Amino acid sequence: MLREELFNILEKGIVKLIDVFLAKPFTFYTESDLHCQLYHILWDLGLNEGCRVEVDKGSAESVLMHKEYPTKGRYRRRRDRKSEVTKGVKRGHFDLCIWDPVLTEQRAFRAPAGRGEQRTLAAVELSLNEHHKGFDWHVYWDLLKLTDCRNEVERGYILFFLRDYPYEKTCFPRNGFIEKLHEKFGEEKRIPVIYVERLGLEERKGLISRASFQDYPRLDDALGE
């Protein structure tokens, strides 16, 4: 499968996930539910493409799409609020990624310290946010993983889902949360940061960052940018 075919299917799946969320936002109890739904959608759309990878000086069958695939880069975690101790350096993980089909046979299924592992051609980071706490750190972290040149990501996406949180007052005014995201990340030019908001019967979706949609035609059509 060619790169452009992979990107086309991936964006088609993202649009379908957005539609599912807006129709039934409480289908998703946790962020992990979003990951699984997108994986299922993309699998049915054809991203179950097989590939061969290097394993123990031979080769074995695998697939191009994976969840929680590790980054090549290692990062220091944020400060522990209780102990005020900074955590050690560790590899991150992508919520969902697609390997480069051209390179799979040349690279290992697993490799020491990340050297020689598969190239992450495309990656998606998702966030499900109800009460608006920690959203800025989450987006900063996702941007870091997707833009770090060590991770080799050619096409990255951040999907930010927001819905009602019925158990306490929100930290921002009802219509102020997306504006806050624009304020903090509106100048981002490399990665499309997409928001999808369902509050009561009201829904909004669009682009937060200034990333060009020239390379994302399906998202451009779906979000009306």
Residues of the chain with pLDDT under 50: 83-85, 225
- Percent of the residues in the chain that have a pLDDT greater than 90, as a whole number: 41
pTM: 0.87
pLDDT per residue as tens digits for the range 28-64: 998 999 999 999 999 999 999 898 998 887 889 999 9
Encode 3-14: b = buried (16+ Cβ within 10 Å), e = exposed: eeebbebbbbbb
Predicted local confidence at residue 17, as pLDDT:
96
Task: Quote the pLDDT of residue 201.
Answer: 85
Distance CA 175, CA 151 (A): 35
50-55/58-63 β-pairing: antiparallel
